[in-house]
Structure formats: C-alpha cells, structure tokens
Amino acid sequence: MKKKLFWSCIALALGAGCALTAVAQVKPDVLVGQRQAVMKLQGKYFGPLVGMLKGTVPYNAEIVQRNALYLDVLDKMPWDGFVESTKGEANTWALPAVYDEPAKFKQAQEQLQSAVSQLVTVSKGGDEAAVKAAIGNVGKACGNCHDNFRKK
C-alpha cells in the first residue's frame, strides 16, 4: 500500500512537469511554465505589500515579514529556466535581451534579490516607514527587470 502511494506520487510529480534531470534537458514549454509559476507566486506575495504601500490594504507587519521571507526564496527560482532553448516558445513574455545581454540580466536578478533581502531585514524591525521604503525598492527592481527584459 505504501509502495502504491509512493509510486502514484511519482507519477503525479512527473505529470506536474518536474525536472528529473539537468535543466538543459527539460522541455522548453515546461521551463517557461515553471518560470511563470514563480512570477505568479511573486505576484501573490508582493501584491499585498504594494497595496499596503498604496494604502489600499491595511498595513500588517506580520504579513510583510512572512511574505518577505517567501519572496526571498521565490526570487532564486526562475533564473535557471531562462535558457536558449526557450527562446522560440509562444507563451513566453521574455525578450531576446534575456539571452543577448546576460550580464545585464544577471544584474537585474541581483538587484531584486538584494532589495528583497533588505526587505527581509527591515521587516523584522518595527519601522513602518522603512518597511514601506524597502517595499518600494523591491517594486523598482521588479519594474527595472520587466522594463528591460519583458514584452510590454
């Protein structure tokens, strides 16, 4: 029975498009789907913080702290999926600049990771203004990368 459960899980994990081998061997559409999954979840957890900054969502220090920690993991996930083999995929919003300007793309990733790390640190304190400034910097890092590497 345990065996059965375990193997059914494996089959399901495979169905979900997991990478059993090196990223280079994963199908391009799977890689794009995984990248987009990360972006979607970054939206889920960053969206409310933007709302708090704009005043459309009540400020909640605990949610900021939790979401910052989630974002600090999510912002490490999409990048290995941006490989040349995905260039021709129909559903990707990535611009050719991702592959043509790898150093600049890497810098944009690091800007995001650094801004999120800063938000994690600041969110542990009780300074709401500082937290909101840090949220703003994460937003700028999102915007910087999207403006240069994502279709409008």
Task: Report the interface residues with a second copy, using CB under 8 A.
Answer: 2, 5-10, 12-21, 33-34, 36-48, 50-51, 54, 56-57, 69-70, 73-74, 76-77, 136, 139-140, 142-144, 146-147, 150
Question: Helices 102-123 and 128-149 sit at what angle, rounded to 10 degrees?
Answer: 160
Instruction: Encode 76-88 in three state secondary structure.
Output: CCCHHHCCHHHCC
Q: How far is the CB of 89 from a second copy (least distance, A)?
A: 16
Q: How far is the CB of 64 from a second copy (least distance, A)?
A: 14
Output the six-digit token pair for 14: 């495979």
Q: How far is the CB of 137 from a second copy (least distance, A)?
A: 9
Pick from 93, 110, 121: which is nearest to 144 by CA? 110
Residue 55 or 126: the one with the smaller Cβ distance to a second copy is: 55
Residues 143 and 135: their CA atoms lie apart, in Å, by: 12
Residue 76 or 101: the one with the smaller Cβ distance to a second copy is: 76
Residue 126 or 144: the one with the smaller Cβ distance to a second copy is: 144
Q: How far is the CB of 63 from a second copy (least distance, A)?
A: 11
Per the CB < 8 A criterion, the answer to whether 78 and 38 are in contact is yes
Residue 26 or 122: the one with the smaller Cβ distance to a second copy is: 26
Strand partners, 150: 94
